[in-house]
Structure 1
Amino acid sequence: MDREASASVLFGGAAPATPAATPGKATKGFRGALASIGLPIKPSAAETAELSAVAEAEARRAQNETIIRQATWTRAVSILVNNPKGGTGKTPTSLLLGGIIASIRGGSTAIVEFSDDPGALNYRAEGSPRLGLGELVRDVAGIKTAGQLHGYTAPQTSFASVIASTGRRERLTGEAVVAVSNVIDEFYGIRVMDTGNQPTSSAFRGAVSVADVLVIPVLNAGDSVLEAIQLLDELRDAGGQPAELAARAIAVRLTDGRPESETVREEVARLLRDAGVRSLHEIPYDEHIAARGQLTLTSLDPATRDAFAAATAAVIRTLQEAVTPASTTIRKA
């Protein structure tokens, strides 16, 4: 054990994890029964393969969590979640991606609704806050402390803070998006933006102007992927910072339970790859997401959480590339 690891143990930290070794004796089936009475029976090939797969999954999980936990920047950073096609999972992706970040990093993550009109974020998040995005837009010039800003949020069990619409509000403008973002960035390290379906709107353009990484949720459906590709084309055509977002785009493919064609799956992956999407992350079907109710990380299937953690780690790595340690510029529209 090196000095750093030793000091961690001496001063309250955990001992470094060691890879799980394959047991010397079988533990399952008939071979396990024989081993249990003292016979020197080794694990079967199937049991050995299963144990190896479990160990590899645990190693990947630990690696992804380390990437998410240890990343740092010299300013607040932001993630834009968008696909112009409605019903592709923008809100669940925003909540779960932001929730994974907050749960691993211990908070300092705001998930904010930047759609033109009120969306579903308030319904899918935990809690029933009295104040939300509409009131924050109204009061934004007077927010000077973290305590004030906290009053417009819905705290989540993941330790994320959600800022969504609690009722009817005025149509969001790009100027309001930038103003709210600047205030959030004073008190939160990471901002996740759940956006709407109008990429030509003022609100969306405002969100683009204060974004560092683009995450595109897609389904295995033609309209879902074609509208995502059109979004990327429009961002590239705009040049500058929007084009940089397109170049760094990451896709998350969700499964909503409808029958799917393997041919369509392969074509969706090909189209996204040809459109320059950096990576495509698969999220398995999960009843908790499909139920369209309030989302909590603890209610997800472990495989779903691991898949979102892998996607989140990719987003964090991309953020580290996009935001250099020397970057201290506050992005404004």
Structure 2
Amino acid sequence: MTQDIQNGSTGTTLMLIIGESQFILDGQVIRVDAGRSVHQAAIAYIAQAASGPVQVTAVDDGGTQQLQVGPDGSVTSVGTAPVGQGAEREGSVTPTGQGPTTSTDRGVPAKRAISPTGETHGNAPDSAHSPTAAPDPQPSDQNSRTPYANDARTPYAPATAQPVAAVAPQEVPQSRAERRASMTFLPGTDEAFSGMATPAKVGGWHGFLQSIGLEKKVKGPTPEQITERAELRAISQHWAGPRTIAIVNPKGGAGKTPTAVLLAAMFARWGGAGCLAWDNNETRGTMGWRTEQGPHEAHVRDLLGAADDLMRPEARAADLAAFVHHQTEDKYDVLRSNPRSIAPEERLTSADLDALHRVAARYYRLIFIDSGNDESAANWLRMIEHTDQLVVATTTRPDHAEAARLVLDDLHAQGQAAAQLADDAVVVVAHADQNEAPGGEYLARFEQLARAAAPIPYDPGMRAAHLRLDGLRPDTQVAWRHAAALVAGGLGTQGQTV
């Protein structure tokens, strides 16, 4: 690694990924002491080993920055005017903030970014707003919509919505009383949250570069941060009444368990406690193997035996801890199946499923059910009747995708309620093997069959023995955040099944 940094001036570009307490430099993990800036530690690490300017592609959960790091610790963003030998760098400073802090727009191409609300951000030229300006070119490659279209390490950025021309309503004169009733000096909820009412702290690379004087201070959040806040707000809300999310695909190995676990983790991390991941699998379900075990070995059969007691008025929420396994990092609970028993011993009837769901709905606000593989099983069919939001999990393998398509098709034959679930489904498409082609084509097709489709990039952390959000790369966490926000978008209008 040191040799790579020393040779950085020959044209090598290093890949730097920033995490919460560590950074990854071209595959090498370097941990950072608590309380120290990970961004600053990464720059100092590169500078210490560099013999000349080093080109760096720097990634964090706020986006990607192209940087040049000098052996003196100076940082220059791509687009800054070239520096001659011994000349003072424009827009370059050391990580400690020493050195010239003058920034310039020379050599920086004008950029225009459109937020999810259609607003324009950044220092776009006046011609961008001119009626004669040429429209932005539309990508022709379907894969450009995925987080891994060009490089598996490129962070996911949800496609921004195109602004829709609004039709001006006819003005209706208001009386003075009506104006008084509708007027307020307080910001709206959306304004306050997005940071338009109060300047918000800018994080990520933008915040780091601003803190050392390399970027001009900007008012308000970046487009990426606006998207992040909107998605986190969707995930963090609480609905009136419990919601059940079923994760389905009749093909084994299609990603149902990781999808159930990581969606539960995302909602619990950002929305607070009250999230349950339930392994409704009678054929040796592995959710218990992929998650943290509590101080006992209880599983779904144990909870079923105690269901009546847990529904008594005197039952306490803490009593449930004897039957579920709390995830100490990601803050949700797991209801395990029994992987040591054969299927006939573990099959649940419709009445069993109802009893378990009554308990879950009493103690949890969000219930994520990993459905198993048998669509004809009584517990699978009854689960669908309790479902508020359907999630179909698949990988980029053709057989997994075809099974996902067929389950959507089969639900249309099971009545109006099941057909509506299929139409409103969210399909999660995981790039499970880095040797497979990206999933742009899969996304395009599933978006025609369901309400939305969400891509998940290839990540070795998805194969870990225990699934944790912090075990995934920043771009993968962003992709799961986007998937969770899509799921949240279907929960507000659904019925409350108990």
- 1:147 equivalent in alignment to 2:318: yes
Equivalent residue, structure 1, for 2:282? 116
Tell me the equivalent position of 1:174: 350
Cα deviation 1:177-229 (Å, max 9, x = unaligned): 22101111101111000111111111100111111111011111221111111
Higher RCO (CA < 8 A, seq sep 6+): 1
Match of 1:70 in 2: 237
Decide which of 14, 35, 38 is 2:100's aligned counterpart.
38
**Counterpart of 1:278?**
451
Q: Distance in 2 between matches of 1:270 and 1:314?
A: 16
TM-fit CA distance, 1:27: 5.1
Q: Does 1:239 align with 2:415?
A: yes
Q: Secondary structure at the match of 1:66?
A: helix
Measured after TM superposition, the shift of residue 48 of structure 1 is 7.5
Who is 2:394 aligned against? 218
Would the alpha carbon gap of residues 39 and 314 (structure 1) be closer, same or farther in structure 2, given more than 3 Å must change?
Answer: closer
Q: Which residue of 1 aligns with 2:381?
A: 205
1:20-45 deviations in whole A, cap 9, x for unaligned?
xxxxxx95155693334437441552
Inter-CA distance 48–268: structure 2 relative to 1 (3 Å threshold): closer
Q: Aligned letter for 1:67? A: A
Question: AA paired with 1:79?
Answer: I
CA distance in 2, matches of 1:197, 1:88: 10
In the alignment, what sits opposite 2:51?
none
1:95 matched to 2:261? The reply is yes
The residue number in structure 2 matching 1:125 is 291
Aligned to 1:314: 486
Say if 1:28 and 1:47, in contact at 8 Å, map to a contact too: no
Shift of 1:139: 2.3
Secondary structure (helix, strand or coil) at the match of 2:239 reads: coil
**In the aligned structure 2, how far is the partner of 1:78 from the partner of 1:40?**
54
Q: Secondary structure at the match of 1:28?
A: strand
Q: Give the conservation status (yes or no) of the 8 Å contact 2:429–2:442.
A: no
2:288 aligned counterpart, secondary structure: helix
**In 2, Cα distance between equivalents of 1:39 and 1:127:** 52
Change (3 A) 1:94 1:47: farther
SS in 2 for 1:305: helix
Q: In the alignment, residue 462 of structure 2 is paired with which amino acid?
A: I
Specify the alignment match of 2:128 in structure 1: none
Q: Return 5+ residue gaps in structure 1 as ranges.
A: 1-25
CA shift, 1:46, in A, is 6.7
What is the distance in 1 between the residues matched to 2:444 and 2:227? Answer: 26
Q: CA deviation at 1:248?
A: 0.8
Q: Mean Cα displacement is larger for which, 148-157 or 133-142?
A: 133-142
Quick one: distance in 1 between partners of 2:462 and 2:104? 41
State the Cα distance separating 1:147 from its structure 2 match: 2.2
SS in 2 for 1:87: coil
Residue 286 of structure 1 and its aligned partner are, at CA, apart by 1.3
Give the SS at the match of 1:165. coil
Select the residue among 204, 228, 231 that pairs with 1:61.
228
When Rg is computed on C-alpha atoms for both structures, the one with the higher figure is: 2
Deviates most, 161-170 or 29-38: 29-38
AA aligned opposite 1:136: L
CA contact (8 A) 1:252 1:281 kept: yes
Q: Which residue of 2 aligns with 1:191?
A: 367
* Paired amino acid for 2:255: G
Distance in 2, matches of 1:279 and 1:48, equals 29
Residues 247, 259 of structure 2: 8 Å contact kept: yes
Is the Cα contact below 8 Å between 1:116 and 1:201 reproduced in 2?
A: no
Single out whichever of 199-208 and 32-41 deviates more from structure 2: 32-41
Structure 2: runs of 5+ lacking an equivalent: 1-73, 94-98, 114-120, 123-156, 158-205, 207-221
Query: Which SS does the other structure have where 1:253 is aligned?
Result: strand
- Identify the structure with the greater helix proportion: 1
CA contact (8 A) 2:247 2:256 kept: yes
Q: What TM-score do the two structures reach when normalised by structure 2? A: 0.55
Paired residues of 1:116 and 1:173 also in contact (CA < 8 A): no
What percentage of aligned pairs have identical amino acids? 23
Task: Report the Cα distance in structure 1 between the residues aligned to 2:228 and 2:446, rounded to whole angstroms.
Answer: 26
Return the alpha-carbon distance in structure 1 between the equivalents of residues 323 and 363 of structure 2. Answer: 13
Which is worse superposed, 162-171 or 115-124?
162-171
RMSD: 2.7
3-state SS of 1:121 partner:
coil
Q: Which TM-score applies when normalising by structure 1?
A: 0.81
d(CA) in 2 for partners of 1:209, 1:39: 62
